[in-house]
Structure 1
């Protein structure tokens, strides 16, 4: 029996030394830190258009946010397509033509980007006959100062539709809906 008691004592001592030390939280905290950093950097992605300081957008209670498309800005001094100056605003206002050729040519040059963005968008509706449904039409977002006369916007929108853009959106500042 003496032999068994030594063995039992050794096992008891060995068992006491192997206490579970608890869970190591360092690795878990590293993973959560990376996850929080990832979420913070990706939530500020390009959800809405940021207008430049020279443009004051009108207010609206629109519910949907604009998609990333070709951007046309109308300032008090000039008209820009994708941040490239195209024509002076005063020249467009003085022109008698409804379609401004300089804007039309700049929009035609950006048509490849607009079609690429439209094709990247998920198709809504879920039709089984997707082959019959054509690609999304090209779209343009117009950022115009609220003080711009409508006659100028009409010429800009006409030039965009002549260039092949069938969806024209005017950017606004979203405010709380009243209801």
Structure 2
């Protein structure tokens, strides 16, 4: 990947020099760097807020009530996980973060969920079916409210940044459902 970036940058510099656009090229590089830093800080704020909220939910015990509400759905998908296992809470937090479109905040929660799922794994280092289901849910990440996308669109001056809500919901639902159907189909075929 580093080689690809090196080639892209080198070709861009050569074209900028030969076309006489070195000054606009340099300005674009610095404007892009500034925009990247601003966007990163904005996203860091969103992640920090969500992580703070999840910490409050966890410390207050409310997350266990939310996990209990989601338990029938989670239990249907993850049939081999005991109902009181900590992975249920970790999976629930990850799903909630994804539902709210906070993919960056969902990452540490996803890592925690996989670690908890691995405690149930009799063959350490191998991927269990429950881990596969979780990877699909985490990757497809059905989003009711894509806060991160809305935030980025708002930061860049979109007139109606929330207009992406319905298309994102439809696309993420279809991708998650399709992936789960394929996974369960392969499991039946390979049994």
Q: Which TM-score tier does this pair reach, normalised by the shorter chain?
A: under 0.3
Which structure: greater helix fraction?
2
TM-score computed with the length of structure 2 as normaliser: 0.24
Which structure: greater strand fraction?
1
Q: Which has the higher contact order (CA 8 A, sep 6+)?
A: 1
